[in-house]
Structure 1
Amino acid sequence: MVGFSLSQQTVASVKRLITSFLQTLEKGLTRANQPIVRGFWHLRHPTLRGAAWACAGIPVLLVLYVLIQIPLTPSIGDIRKAKIEQPAQILSADGKLLTEFKPSNREWVKLKDISPNVVNALIATEDHRFYQHFGLDWRRTASAALHTFSGDRQGGSTITQQLARNLYPDEIGRAPTLTRKIKEAITAFKIEALYTKDEILETYLNTVPFLYNAYGIEMAARTYFDKSAGDLNVLESATLIGMLKGNSYYNPVLNPERALQRRNTVLAQMVKYGKLTPAASATLARRPLRIDFERQTEPPGPAPHFAQQLRKWLAAWADRNDYNMYSDGLVVRTTIDSRLQTMATQAVTLQGNQLQGLANSAWGTRAGCANGRDLLQTFLRETPDYRAAKDAGLTDDDAMKRVSADRDLVKSVCESKTRVQADFLAMDPRNGQIKAWVGSRDFSQDPFDHVQQARRQPGSTFKPFVYAAAFEDGAKPSDTFIDKPVEIPLAGGEVWRPSDEDEPSERAISLRDGLAYSRNRITAQLMETVGPNKVARLARAMGVRDSELDPVPSLALGTSPVTLKEMVSAYGTIANLGGYVEPVMVTRIEDRNGEVLADFEPASPKQELPAAAARTLVDVMRDVVSRGTGSSIRSRFGVRGDVAGKTGTTQGNADGWFILIQPQLVAGAWVGFNDSRVTLRSDYWGQGAHSALPIVGDFFQRAQRSKLVDSRVKFATDEEPGWFAERSGRLREWFQHLFAASPAKTEAPVVTRNSTRHAPAVATAPASAASAAAASSATAADVEPRALPPQPPLLQAPASAVAPANRAVDGEVHGNGEPALAPTPTPDDVLSPDAGGGAASSFPSGPASAPGSASP
């Protein structure tokens, strides 16, 4: 430090300047304000009386300052609320506790359940006159002030003052200022006036922090000694109380020597104030510091990802309505069904574990990704360790050798990258209530919520929006397109060439079969007809409202990333026959006494897709699970009743999807890896029909067996006939009865799910395989390689053979019978390649005798 001194001549010059300034100011104010002049004169010429008044004014000013601070401290109501703090309770729709929203990792215990050793150590060390003062220990405060003024800073806060600071850090502050000490003292007086000494001790010990997100003595005991607060012995109690002087400085995990020294200081204080004998203290002080450390985590509860999203929503609601979700005892009744949630979690865990075994074998995970060395090196180049090696001046080869030699790093990177992820969501399409939400396989290992936050390409699960747009424009399921090579020009001169696993058959394929067997070339031609902009607008209206949809032709095959929540919401619109209902998480909020604070009634459905188009789409999607790519829902999992759905798989099998709709419940699942460059490396297990479908199938199977989903409920896809149609039908029945067809001309109808269709003689046979990668300049398209069963021969039946009970809907004949599964057809049943109608640039309708294939 550089020092300097002023000469006497300089000091005298400064004094003359100041005197001259005051004299000039005094002369200028003489005419304006004589009292001010007199005040300046008294300041320059103080009298004994003036000095006495000045000294007397200092305490008055101090009192006034204290009075000003009182309104700035917590109110009596706030202090009462802190003592009876009640976190928000989150309940399921069936009344089960899902979780509590606590401000920290804390468990409140009564004072009688805390070891007396803790209380003795606390009072002896922090406030030995605790039972004699009323919030402020004047002797200790004065002593601390004298030591502080002399350069030896000491703390003089009582336990009550520390409690005030712990409970209200924002109102009181932590800066070492006079204002903070005054606020602290005022709040301490208020606390002492409201509560007994035991209540103050109990609150203090339950709110004091102990590092590692452990608040309160109970969590501290579990964290550092793996026992309850009631079982702490003298040494353990002294260790924890010793930390209160400085948690980090006396941390027994990182600074054991300091913690041991501080522990012995606490033992000495206990001897000083009669809480421990000198002999016992001497014996205990020689013992080592024994720590059994384990971080404590809050129990995740049965629906942790749902609770994670609900906490954000409730915090915003509480702020708007002036409630505290941590202390006001709110009771939040959610839409989650705890039974369905358990089933969903079990289904995700079971399938996830099975797929993880396949992934471990495919990648050689136990050997550090031995089967994927090239990609592993790419992953290692993305680690901080590699970047640090490069920053140190190493070449690429040397840096790679260094990180590759770190076995722990290689193992960690390999395991994290090849960990299979899965998510699941179920909601009631009628009111938007979310019934089950599983955001990952294990919340403790991967708290990232894939349902709400992860955006992945949906593949073929996006195709129903293309068909919905077509049906809205008047297309029929029997309309056909030729299975031929497709080339669609894109902006910039590129050409999109979607493909399927098999070569183009040049056959006419109906829209019904195109969706049932997930035909890329048929869907691409349909997209070209309806237009990408219309499909994007319709998908947004139906529920895909947060993700950006790129209105390009390849959107038909699901190239724009979306979330599972959006897709399930949009499929809910399909299940609700075109009526969109926004997903909801909460039905009601009550206070601690059961008084209703807010009711959240289901919103009225908004018709985003015409009901007629929605009915047609549901009927076509039934074929996906009755004979198409999702047929194992019935054959393997035995899901009964009126259900429909769609599978989805993206290029390289990076994403597997399946969504199933039922009138009461819509459920969807996604399976993949956090890094889309990693796949299951299996053309079979990578498909959505084999990765994601089993999760939904297992869930629905359990739900139906438990009677939580009624398998007897059906979609209202049969339109009620009008007056003219009803009378025409009666007239037709009379003619049929009068002129009954001969047995030779009567043929048995082909029975499908929920319908009886009489197929014409000439119809479309589906191609023998389904989707493969869309080889184009666009991003990944849906690819679902599979061996499809051949179609049975379609029989032509005259109009006179139609059963009287059937009603015409969209040009097809539907019955109300329970779906029946036909025997698997033989290869000889396949129609010749020239069967079916030709393609057209608009919605082509085949001849009256060839409306397309019917369900087997």
Structure 2
Amino acid sequence: MSARKPFPLAWRGSPATFARRAAWMLVLAVSLLAPAHATPSYQQTKQSHHPSDKQVTARDGTPIGSVRVDTTARRGAWLTLDQFSPALIDTVIAAEDARFFEHGGVDWKAVGAGAKQTLSGSRRGASTLTMQLVGLMDEDLKARPGGRSVLQKAEQARQALVLERRWTKGQILEAYLNKVPMPGEILGIPMASQLMFGKAPHGLNRQEAAILTALIRAPNASEKLVAQRACRIVHGAAATPAQCAPLEGQTQIALAQAVQKGALPGARSPLAAHLARRAGKAQVWQTTVDARLQALARDSLRRHVAELSTRNVEDGAVLVLDNATGEVLVWVGSSGALSDAAQLDFVTARRQAGSTLKPFVYAQALTEKKLTAASLIDDAPLAVPTQSGIYAPQNYDRGYAGPVSVRTALASSLNIPAVKAAMMVTPEALFRQLQALGFALRESGDYFGPGLALGAAEVSLFELTNAYRTLANQGMASEPRFALKPATPPAAPRRALSSDVSWIVADMLADREARARTFGLTSPLATRGWAAVKTGTSKDMRDNWCIGFSDRYTVGVWVGNASGAPMWNVSGVSGAAPVWAEVMRALHAGRPSQAPALPATLVKQAVDFGGVEPAREEVFLAGTERSTVALAQRIVSARITAPAAGTIVALDPDIPPAQQRVQLVAEVPPGERVRWLVNDRPLAQGARTSWLPPPGKYRIALVDAQGKALDTVAIEVRGAWMPAVQTARPAAARGGGRPSAAAPSSAALR
């Protein structure tokens, strides 16, 4: 018998041969023992992949923003192989597994070469793309500091062989590209491509693909090392410094973008980022937003705020609600890049309401039947004692209209009549009504006092817009909703105001003629169809609003500054109203809004105002109608109505003197001639004048033609004195310039 030949894989030969054959033996042994069920299927792997950022959409499926749902890593959506650029596929295979389409999961040639290199001190591994994918799919096989153990490598090879029997090459490559670790917390080429280059993987060119491929080997390598590897991938081992220089700059920029924690570059200007965040917290992924209207409102706001930038305006917000359903159609939370606080949501931020609460003041007075739309209120200087001093509201133009109807007072946004109406119903009753309308006020009505009528309280655009929607819905209040999927049932409506009172208030807000005293007939508030609308500006022009509704929609707009800095000569009609008008026009481009029909429970009555206002037909609650109205109080003797006794005027050196004149106003019976004296020195004649005094204490007297004192008040002026200002020149001699008072001022403007 001939001698038996030695076993072909016996432990003989050089150390390199020994290592190669040992590796072969180990891989062969474990592969023969591998159960086929140990590896998940392609479909299971794909279905278990969830993006770290989930899209929130408009009602038609248009993305409006994304929400981070996984804070442990950043992954994009799973992409199929045909959604990766050929350049990327070519560079990845060439750099990581040149014989990918030839081996069955383990590259036997590379195993031997890798063993030889390990013994010689070179640490180039022999992991195929399939083996790397196995390591990404199995927690026990993921690379650890110091590398994998021999047993882990054997198991990795075993699973790679199984994977190749169950998956196609295309599936393996697809899964690898979706799961491969990239810099920092990024997983997968799709997310890396978006973060680093602002594009989907199908758009990657050869240079970009080379940078991503270079990162596979060492995701957290230095910029210089990554650039060198990428350069060799593109230009070969003999690449020159001149060839590598452009790639070095591109790599530096890409890696800097990769570590940013913000939104994806492709979504840096999402359609409705603020609502998307809110929806994501509520696990809502399809909202009621109308994508077309959202884009129109966003662009209108940004364009108008940009136009007002020279007047110290940088922020704004828009909200549109469907009257019937309460669905949110538009939610623009800020002016975007124009704002220094673009992440803040000004739809829900709390700001002073200005005159936007006036409709609810009159609604309460109508409800209590203390006023009607025809009632006359004297728009004259008013001084109300409070715990903190004298409260002296003033109108936007610093003037006074005299007796006006409630209809005119509300539509023209006069401040003093609103305060008088609030005093009739008490601030606490108004506070309860505002609560019923959905306002989450932080203090009681007594805390705000009469200033509650002029918007001293802080409210949100969300609350205001929905309260006006309540007026549009005949006094029925309900919560707005933005969830389309998963669907949420509409909130049960509740009665917040009577339908008749709501109709009258809406009718006054829609009255163009009554509004003309302050706004004229051609302001942005004059829409083509029927609309009830109110503007408001808070103290020192820090906020301005325009809120109004048509027969189908309610639109709210806020313009101001996140910092609370005052705007420069920007009121509600010039700040927020143009945006409101543009959005309302778009909403009714196809069908103008129609005025609501007069309820049968209301009474229409011709009214004579005794010459104060032209006679007209007015609408009344049943039982309150009348054919003539007049002021209950008549002037019987001259008296000073402004400033109030005890007033302290605080001069501000940063405000132009023309804006700080103290107005002196008196009620004078018809035909009586009066003069003003300050510390017994003549100042001016007539019932009204203005005066800018230096600091000091003053006794102001109103005297008749013979010098007899009719009324006196004492005031004090504090603050820096501004020279070169004439202090005793009557307004009439100055050519009729607009008078203004220094303090106290109202908490709201028109």
Fold agreement, TM-score > 0.5: yes
Mapped pair 1:569 → 2:466: yes
Alignment counterpart, residue 581 of structure 2, candidates 676, 693, 697: 697
- Cα distance 1:90–1:488, how it changes in 2: closer, same or farther (>3 A)? same
3-state SS in 2 of match to 1:696: helix
Mapped pair 1:614 → 2:497: no
In structure 1, give the amino acid aligned to 2:482.
M
Q: Which residue of 1 aligns with 2:711?
A: none
Q: Which residue of 2 aligns with 1:349?
A: 302
Alignment counterpart, residue 711 of structure 1, candidates 579, 590, 593: 593
- Cα distance 1:110–1:535, how it changes in 2: closer, same or farther (>3 A)? same
| C-alpha deviation, 1:86, in angstroms | 12
3-state SS in 2 of match to 1:660: strand
| C-alpha deviation, 1:207, in angstroms | 4.5
In the TM superposition, what whole-angstrom CA distance separates every residue of 1:812-833 from its partner, at most 9, and x where no partner exists?
Answer: xxxxxxxxxxxxxxxxxxxxxx
Contact 1:205 1:216 in 2 (8 A): yes
Any residues of structure 2 matched to 1:626-665 within 5 Å, and which?
626-628=514-516, 631=519, 635-636=523-524, 638-665=526-553
Q: Which residue of 1 aligns with 2:489?
A: 601
- Cα distance 1:613–1:215, how it changes in 2: closer, same or farther (>3 A)? same
The 1-side partners of 2:141 and 2:384 are apart by 66
Any residues of structure 2 matched to 1:60-209 within 5 Å, and which?
78-82=44-48, 90-93=56-59, 98=64, 106=76, 110-112=80-82, 114=84, 116-127=86-97, 130-131=100-101, 158-160=128-130, 162-163=132-133, 195-208=167-180
Alignment counterpart, residue 539 of structure 1, candidates 434, 437, 461: 434
The 2-side partners of 1:168 and 1:452 are apart by 46
Q: Which residue of 1 aligns with 2:717?
A: none
| C-alpha deviation, 1:515, in angstroms | 2.0
The 1-side partners of 2:433 and 2:207 are apart by 69
Any residues of structure 2 matched to 1:357-436 within 5 Å, and which?
358-359=310-311, 418=312, 420-436=314-330
Mapped pair 1:470 → 2:365: yes
In the TM superposition, what whole-angstrom CA distance separates every residue of 1:173-227 from its partner, at most 9, and x where no partner exists?
Answer: 9777989969988997886566322222223324546559987546756876788
In structure 2, give the amino acid aligned to 1:240.
L
In the TM superposition, what whole-angstrom CA distance separates every residue of 1:750-787 from its partner, at most 9, and x where no partner exists?
Answer: 368999x996374699xxxxxx9xx9999xxxxxx9xx
Contact 1:633 1:693 in 2 (8 A): no
In structure 2, give the amino acid aligned to 1:425.
L
3-state SS in 1 of match to 2:355: helix
In the TM superposition, what whole-angstrom CA distance separates every residue of 1:62-92 from its partner, at most 9, and x where no partner exists?
Answer: x9xx99xx99x98987523146979866554
Q: Percent identity?
A: 27
| C-alpha deviation, 1:111, in angstroms | 3.4
Contact 2:57 2:64 in 1 (8 A): yes
In structure 1, give the amino acid aligned to 2:172.
I
Unaligned runs of 5+ in 1: 1-58, 268-275, 319-331, 360-417, 590-597, 733-747, 766-771, 779-784, 786-856
The 1-side partners of 2:365 and 2:579 are apart by 30
Contact 2:319 2:347 in 1 (8 A): no
Contact 1:630 1:693 in 2 (8 A): no
Q: Which residue of 2 aligns with 1:460?
A: 355
In the TM superposition, what whole-angstrom CA distance separates every residue of 1:101-126 from its partner, at most 9, and x where no partner exists?
Answer: 68758576653564555334433543
In structure 2, give the amino acid aligned to 1:159.
L
- Cα distance 1:225–1:545, how it changes in 2: closer, same or farther (>3 A)? closer
Alignment counterpart, residue 263 of structure 1, candidates 222, 230, 245: 230
3-state SS in 2 of match to 1:317: coil
Contact 1:517 1:628 in 2 (8 A): yes
Contact 1:303 1:438 in 2 (8 A): no
Q: Which residue of 2 aligns with 1:313?
A: 279
Any residues of structure 2 matched to 1:431-450 within 5 Å, and which?
431-442=325-336, 447-450=342-345
3-state SS in 2 of match to 1:562: strand
Q: Which residue of 2 aligns with 1:3?
A: none
Q: Structure 2-normalised TM-score?
A: 0.62
The 2-side partners of 1:286 and 1:625 are apart by 75
The 2-side partners of 1:632 and 1:549 are apart by 36
Contact 1:496 1:776 in 2 (8 A): no
The 1-side partners of 2:241 and 2:491 are apart by 68
Q: Which residue of 1 aligns with 2:213?
A: 241
The 2-side partners of 1:300 and 1:754 are apart by 54
- Cα distance 1:655–1:631, how it changes in 2: closer, same or farther (>3 A)? same
Any residues of structure 2 matched to 1:697-776 within 5 Å, and which?
697-707=581-591, 710-712=592-594, 714-720=595-601, 750=616, 760=628, 762=630
| C-alpha deviation, 1:662, in angstroms | 1.7
More helix by share: 1
- Cα distance 1:310–1:502, how it changes in 2: closer, same or farther (>3 A)? closer
- Cα distance 1:164–1:606, how it changes in 2: closer, same or farther (>3 A)? farther
In structure 1, give the amino acid aligned to 2:583.
F
In the TM superposition, what whole-angstrom CA distance separates every residue of 1:369-424 from its partner, at most 9, and x where no partner exists?
Answer: xxxxxxxxxxxxxxxxxxxxxxxxxxxxxxxxxxxxxxxxxxxxxxxxx5522211
- Cα distance 1:174–1:667, how it changes in 2: closer, same or farther (>3 A)? farther
Q: Which residue of 1 aligns with 2:739?
A: none
The 2-side partners of 1:754 and 1:344 are apart by 37
Aligned length, in residue pairs: 575
Any residues of structure 2 matched to 1:209-224 within 5 Å, and which?
210-211=182-183, 217=189
Mapped pair 1:287 → 2:235: no
The 1-side partners of 2:290 and 2:370 are apart by 39
Contact 1:486 1:521 in 2 (8 A): yes
Q: Which residue of 2 aligns with 1:586?
A: 483
The 2-side partners of 1:244 and 1:515 are apart by 68
Contact 1:260 1:288 in 2 (8 A): yes
The 1-side partners of 2:141 and 2:505 are apart by 60
| C-alpha deviation, 1:552, in angstroms | 1.6
Contact 1:656 1:691 in 2 (8 A): yes
Q: Which residue of 2 aligns with 1:44?
A: none
In the TM superposition, what whole-angstrom CA distance separates every residue of 1:447-489 from its partner, at most 9, and x where no partner exists?
Answer: 4244334322111112223223323323332344444544444
Contact 1:136 1:158 in 2 (8 A): yes
Q: Which residue of 2 aligns with 1:552?
A: 448
The 2-side partners of 1:232 and 1:638 are apart by 52
Q: Structure 1-normalised TM-score?
A: 0.56
The 2-side partners of 1:94 and 1:568 are apart by 24
RMSD after superposition: 5.2
Contact 1:135 1:189 in 2 (8 A): yes
Q: Which residue of 1 aligns with 2:421?
A: 526
Contact 1:343 1:703 in 2 (8 A): no
The 2-side partners of 1:569 and 1:642 are apart by 19
Contact 1:136 1:157 in 2 (8 A): yes
3-state SS in 1 of match to 2:336: coil
The 1-side partners of 2:231 and 2:527 are apart by 68
Mapped pair 1:667 → 2:555: yes
| C-alpha deviation, 1:147, in angstroms | 10
The 2-side partners of 1:702 and 1:753 are apart by 31
In structure 2, give the amino acid aligned to 1:552.
F
| C-alpha deviation, 1:566, in angstroms | 1.6
The 1-side partners of 2:459 and 2:103 are apart by 63
Alignment counterpart, residue 517 of structure 1, candidates 412, 423, 447: 412
The 2-side partners of 1:218 and 1:582 are apart by 40
The 2-side partners of 1:548 and 1:189 are apart by 71
- Cα distance 1:235–1:698, how it changes in 2: closer, same or farther (>3 A)? closer
In the TM superposition, what whole-angstrom CA distance separates every residue of 1:617-636 from its partner, at most 9, and x where no partner exists?
Answer: 22332337852578568655
More strand by share: 2
Contact 1:74 1:187 in 2 (8 A): no
